[in-house]
Each structure stands twice: as structure tokens, then as C-alpha cells.
Structure 1
Amino acid sequence: MKDSIPSKKQVKKAGEALANSNSSTSEYKKAMQVLSIWRSLHTTPLNTFQTTLRRKVKSLNFYSPIIAQRLKRTPSIILKLQRFQDMNLARMQDIGGLRIVLSTVGEVYRLQKNILEKSSRFDHDLKKLNDYIHDPKPDGYRGLHLIFRYKSVVHPHLDGLLIELQIRTKLQHSWATAVETLGLIEKSSFKTGEGDTEFKDFFKLCSALFAHYEKQPVSEELRGFSVIELAKELKILEEKLNIFQKLQGVAISSQYIGTNNKVTGDCEYFLVELNLRDENPQVNITGFNKEMKDMAESHYQRREITLRDEPKVDIVLISMSNVKDIEKAYPNYFLDTELFIENLQKICSTALMGIAQNKN
């Protein structure tokens, strides 16, 4: 096993080749092979983290938690390498990622406290903590990010691999989902800073309204604005851009969700493929049981290579305990923004109703 693990020098070199548009075909192919091996190494740490965190979440008696893990998509890795010139593939922090979605901000911080307590038996080293709830990103993103260095007695050859844990509320999760979904519709990666300014302003306003609702700080740009002012500005932008209509018009109905005969209650890994090529978007889910982990990763790699030049197909390999929870954890792959629209409309109508009552 150890002999097949690329060195960090080899991984860094592979990342440089993938980021370089002038790399030869042979250099690119070799780099992809290194990336595939390097990415797959993160599966064991992810499984360890998920098992431990499921136990913690259960002990804390949270209401309806969602827990999922995923290996970062190859196009996303390459894009990140291209966007940040100093990015080292061997030090990329989110190749292996876990997401926990909870009901309230209080639950988010209760879980964080439990994980970081010395007596909690979570023995991995915390490398970095970014609290984007208390200090939202300029684009409005909110959530708690913890980066850990994996440590294991059983798998010491994997020590030092970085795992990212995201903890969000359902409201924060719905915002991030809407950003990704509208990005797919508009063919702009809003989450990486691309796209029309007015669309991005819309999501900043949404984030601020959600932050007020959760009684948390808003992004620095919008601090000082009242809920009413934010709601009025958002209403103007939404009517101009028809964002709700666009989001509601693409939601995938159950008749366009396909599963193969491998998807059973025994499956642990799921390959989720979103196809936007046809008039009716479709999601296909392929399930693999625990013993088929290597097959799942191999199939994931082959499909990514096949779809490399197909911008209207998105694919991700995730691990969850129940196939029914996939849509809750990754609603962007189902173009599902119902929760986002429902909460935003409720918050805005409450704020603007106050104006009408004051006028009367």
C-alpha cells in the first residue's frame, strides 16, 4: 500500500501540470493518475470521521441532522489550482470533505464544542478553524469550517492527510444550494466569484436577511442596514432578475430521478450524476456497497474523464447511510431550492408587512 502512495513532491508536480494549459497529453495523463490515487487516499480518513461524528451527533440528540461525505470533483480541484497560483495540490484542504447540516446555530456550536473538547476522543489535530457564521465571507457565505490533520494507529501511512468538516444550519445550507443552482442555470460559478454583479448582490442580501433571522452578524458590507431596507432592496432585485421563477423552473421531479438496480439499503457509496443536456434535467444515482469502494472510485474517475469536455453534466461520489438523504445533503444536484425560496419569502413578507402596518 505504502509503495503506491505518491510523495508530496509528486503530488505537487501533478497539481502544477494540471493547472498548466500547456502541459503535454502525456504529462496531463500522468498527473491525472497521481491525482486519482491521492484523492482516493482520503476515503479512509473520511470514513473514520463520519463514523465518529455520527456517534457524536446521536449522543447530542440533535433534531433531524444530515451527515454526508464526498471526494472533491476533479474539475473543481483543477479550477482551484488554476485560480490560485500558489495552490499546492498536496496541501489542498478540502479534497476530502464532510458536511453536517443541523437545525440551529446553537446546535452548530454545541457540536463544535463537543468535537474540540480534550475529553471528546477526537484525536485528530485541528489545523484551522474558520467561523463564517460570526464573520461571513464578503459574498455572504456562512458556515463553520474546521480543517483537521488525520491521525491513525491503524493507518499511519495516511497520517497528515487534511480533511475539511463543514457544519451549517439548514438555512445556511439552503443559501449555498441556491447559489450553486443558479450558477448552473446562468452558467456562472457564483461561488468562485464569477457572474453578474446583480445576481451576486442578490445573494449578499439573502445572506444578510438569513443572518438577521438567525440573530447572527451579517457581512461587513451590509452591516448597519435594517431588515426592512434589506428586504426592500432584495424585492427590487428579485423582480428585475426573476430569480425565484428561474429557480422554480428547473427543479427535478421524481420522474426524472433514475437509480440503477445496485441501489439498495446496503449501499454506502453513491455516484450522483446531474445531466442538464436535455430539455428535462435528470439525475442518475448509482449505488455501491462498502466492499465496492474501489470500484466506486474507479467508476468515478472514468466518468470524470469521459465527461471532461461536457459542461452540462456534473458528477460527484458521496457516502451516506441512506440513499433517501442524498437530496437533503446535496439538493444542488436536484436543483432543489424550495426551502431557500420558502424561507426568504417568509422573512421578506414579514419585514415588508411591518412597513404596511406602520403606514396604516
Structure 2
Amino acid sequence: MTSDNGMSSISRNRANSAGRVLSAGFHRDTVSDYVRALAVAQQWRSQHVNPTEQCFAKVLDCSKSISRSVATFRLKRMISIVRKIQRPSTHFKLGELDDIGGCRLIVESNEQVRHAASWLASNLPLKNGSADKDYIARPQDSGYRSRHLLCSIASDSASYHVEVQIRTRLQHCWSTAVEAAGEIYGTEYKSPVVRADADGDDERRLRFFKIVSSLFALEEHAPQVPGFVGDYTTLVRQLRDLDCTRSVLGDLNAAVDSVFIADTLEASSELFLLKLSRESQYLDVEPFRADELEEALRRYDAVERHIELPGDGTSTSDETGYDNAVLVYARDAEQLAIAYPNYSTNVRFFLDKVNGYLEP
């Protein structure tokens, strides 16, 4: 079995073996083994490109039928893959990860989430026939709310897992704000291990996001976060009484205005390749027409190949300094801003909502 680039494809078992080496971490006496395992993991990730593209085509079809929706395509960054399988007290296997390939659909309401999930489940093969995780009906303890479909897509005579996330704008801006806070404070708040061990300031910040998530759920007439069920007045009082609320809002506010965005929106464009350099805080937007999907996917792959790999300290190219990329389907500038792989638009929306709760 060979992959699209002519190389022998990595099997799921071989990927799992490489993952065990990577999970042990980078050590001087095992540097050659680690580098070889990293190369295997990179190829395993690359093999998810075609099945994720197949999945994205269906997500695009769904998005076109839902007004104001935004669809995105991305592969999980290598550094994020390695960090996930290196989490202590977890048993993630590289070959079994469900989210190396990912598509996302952002809509306006939970009713649209249900409609999209039903349509996609009928038009995509789900893992084990029924892999549907509804974190809106049953929010996670962290406050995370979204709907996940885990797909099993055939490619190269094998099957690959691709995750499709469907969420509302409120759910999306909450998740983005949590990621932004993680970068600001140097703590991976999305990690279950980090949350389980959190104390002091980290524990209070996590409580802040749980309260806000329950307020958002209340606004959407949806189930609230376990342990944070209450009416509007009670939850707002808890938010005001939390001693970190103002500092979290202030730190998020300081972060949202730091990214320069290239203004390249064209009237005929509906697909956009967003490329972010965090070091220079520059976001480049490369537009494509809707009928240029194949070229847009090719360019996404080319940019991804330049992103630095963890553990080797070198980049495959010096022509870009990008360290994040996402391909987006959007029909106007406002929709495109929702999908930016930085925090400006979504965190600003989050801040406006939370500050609105806190007004007398």
C-alpha cells in the first residue's frame, strides 16, 4: 500500500508504535529513535489529508444550505499531536486519535446544529456506525459545549478517523477564549490533566469559564454545565463575586488588538486560506473562488509543510514564519472573521457578552 506521495503508507499499528516512542519524550540517549518516530508520525498525519478533504467537501455542501454558517478545514498541528499523546496519566494512541483530521461548522443556533448533525450523519460514514458525541445536550464538566461526529473515511485501502465539530457562535467564542487564556497564562486549560490538578489562580480562572458557559447555555435554552446550574441572577452574582473576573477580562482585552490582518477580501472569493504568524502577530489571507477548492487544498498542504515540527528545532523552509493555518468557507468579511486562527474577533465577541452580563 502506498500513499499519494509514492511512499509506503504507515499502518495504524506502526503509527501506534511510533506514538509510544514519542509519548516517552525527547531524551539525549534516544534522540535517533525519537526523530524516526517523529517522521512516522508526520507521515501518518499526512495520510489524513485526503480523507479530511473528502469530509470537508460534505461539510461545505451542508454549510451552503445553512444561512450565515462558516465551515473550516484543518489538520491538527504536530506539536499538538505530540503533546496530546504525552499527557500524563492518559493512554492516547497515535493511530487511534480521532481528531488529526478535522472539519468545523459554525452556525447561529442549536436548531441549526441539530439539522447539520442529522444531514452530515446521513451523508458521511460514522466511526462504528454511530459516533456522535453531543456535548451540548451533555456539557463537559469544563464548560465545553459542541456536537462532534467521528467519521471513518476510506483512503489508500485503509480507513482514517476525521472529527467534524458543529457548534454555535456562542459555543465557538467560548472555546476560543479558553484557548486564548491558555496562551496568555501559559497553561493548557483544555487538557483534562491540567484541569484535574488546577489550584489557585488556575482553578479560579476555570471556574470563571464554567460560569460563563452556563450563562451562554441559559441564553441558548440548553443544558447548563454540571455544578453550575442556576438562573441568570445567581450566575451573574457568582461571576461578579469571583476575584479573577476583572483580571481575566483585562488580560483577554489586552490580547485581542495585537494581530495585524491583511485586507485581501475579494467579492468573488468564498474560500480563504488563513495563515498566522504568532511571532510577528500577522495574519495573511489568501482568497480563492468556490470552484478553486482543489487549488486551495493544495496551497493549504504546501503551507502546512513549512510549519516547524516539534523536537527538531528547524523549519523545512524559511520562506514563511507561519505557525498556524486553516482553510475557511465564508461568504462575507464578518463570517470570515469568525474563523480567524487568532483571537481578535471571537474574543472581542466573548468580552462584549461577558461585560454585558456584568453591567449594573
Q: Please give the TM-score of this superposition, normalised by the length of structure 1.
A: 0.80
Asked if 1:315 is matched to 2:319, the reply is no
Q: Is the 2:63–2:71 Cα contact (8 Å) retained in structure 1?
A: no
Change (3 A) 1:239 1:266: closer
- Give 3-state SS (helix, strand or coil) of 2:73's partner: strand
**Which of 200, 216, 226 is the matching residue for 2:206?**
200
Match of residue 28 from structure 1: 34
CA distance in structure 1 between the partners assigned to 2:226 and 2:119 by the alignment: 29
Match of residue 181 from structure 2: 182
- Give 3-state SS (helix, strand or coil) of 2:323's partner: strand
**Which of 131, 137, 140 is the matching residue for 1:137?**
140
Match of residue 356 from structure 2: 346
**Which of 262, 273, 276 is the matching residue for 1:273?**
276
Change (3 A) 1:32 1:44: same
Change (3 A) 1:292 1:26: farther
Change (3 A) 1:46 1:240: closer
Match of residue 70 from structure 1: 74
- Give 3-state SS (helix, strand or coil) of 1:54's partner: helix
Match of residue 251 from structure 2: 246
CA distance in structure 1 between the partners assigned to 2:23 and 2:249 by the alignment: 36
- Give the AA of the match of 1:184: E
CA distance in structure 1 between the partners assigned to 2:243 and 2:174 by the alignment: 15
CA distance in structure 2 between the partners assigned to 1:271 and 1:102 by the alignment: 20
Residues 134-158 of structure 1: CA deviation (Å, up to 9, x unaligned)? 111111000101101114xxx4x25
**Which of 102, 116, 120 is the matching residue for 1:115?**
120
CA distance in structure 2 between the partners assigned to 1:58 and 1:97 by the alignment: 18
CA distance in structure 2 between the partners assigned to 1:44 and 1:269 by the alignment: 19
Q: Is the 2:78–2:310 Cα contact (8 Å) retained in structure 1?
A: no
Question: CA offset at residue 303 of structure 1?
Answer: 2.6
Q: Is the 2:58–2:123 Cα contact (8 Å) retained in structure 1?
A: no
**Which of 91, 101, 107 is the matching residue for 2:106?**
101
- Give the AA of the match of 2:164: L
**Which of 198, 202, 216 is the matching residue for 1:210?**
216
Question: CA offset at residue 90 of structure 1?
Answer: 0.6
Match of residue 318 from structure 2: none
CA distance in structure 1 between the partners assigned to 2:302 and 2:180 by the alignment: 27
- Give 3-state SS (helix, strand or coil) of 1:250's partner: helix
Asked if 1:170 is matched to 2:169, the reply is yes
- Give the AA of the match of 2:309: I
Residues 267-297 of structure 1: CA deviation (Å, up to 9, x unaligned)? 967362342x57xx44355789744756753
- Give the AA of the match of 2:108: S
CA distance in structure 2 between the partners assigned to 1:269 and 1:29 by the alignment: 33
CA distance in structure 1 between the partners assigned to 2:42 and 2:92 by the alignment: 18
Match of residue 43 from structure 1: 49
Q: Is the 2:133–2:148 Cα contact (8 Å) retained in structure 1?
A: yes
Question: CA offset at residue 97 of structure 1?
Answer: 0.6
Change (3 A) 1:173 1:182: same
Residues 317-338 of structure 1: CA deviation (Å, up to 9, x unaligned)? 3222459555412454547411
Question: CA offset at residue 249 of structure 1?
Answer: 1.1
Change (3 A) 1:240 1:113: closer
Change (3 A) 1:296 1:172: closer
Change (3 A) 1:158 1:317: farther
Question: CA offset at residue 63 of structure 1?
Answer: 2.4
Q: Is the 2:271–2:287 Cα contact (8 Å) retained in structure 1?
A: yes
Change (3 A) 1:297 1:173: same
RMSD of aligned residue pairs (Cα, Å):
3.2
Change (3 A) 1:213 1:190: same
- Give the AA of the match of 2:348: E
Residues 197-216 of structure 1: CA deviation (Å, up to 9, x unaligned)? 01000000000111111111
Q: Is the 1:69–1:320 Cα contact (8 Å) retained in structure 2?
A: yes
Match of residue 150 from structure 2: 147
CA distance in structure 2 between the partners assigned to 1:306 and 1:191 by the alignment: 20
- Give the AA of the match of 1:283: L
Change (3 A) 1:121 1:216: closer
Q: Please give the TM-score of this superposition, normalised by the length of structure 2.
A: 0.80
Question: CA offset at residue 299 of structure 1?
Answer: 4.5
Q: Is the 1:259–1:286 Cα contact (8 Å) retained in structure 2?
A: no
- Give the AA of the match of 1:50: F
| Structure 2: gaps (5+ residues) | 315-320
CA distance in structure 1 between the partners assigned to 2:272 and 2:32 by the alignment: 31
Q: Is the 1:238–1:244 Cα contact (8 Å) retained in structure 2?
A: no
Match of residue 283 from structure 2: 283
Q: Is the 1:252–1:336 Cα contact (8 Å) retained in structure 2?
A: no
More off after superposition, 238-247 vs 102-111:
238-247
Change (3 A) 1:135 1:306: closer
**Which of 77, 83, 104 is the matching residue for 1:79?**
83
| Structure 1: gaps (5+ residues) | 354-360
- Give the AA of the match of 1:222: F
Residues 86-126 of structure 1: CA deviation (Å, up to 9, x unaligned)? 2111110000011100000111011112223xxx4434554
Change (3 A) 1:329 1:271: closer
Match of residue 57 from structure 1: 63
CA distance in structure 1 between the partners assigned to 2:36 and 2:272 by the alignment: 26
Match of residue 357 from structure 1: none
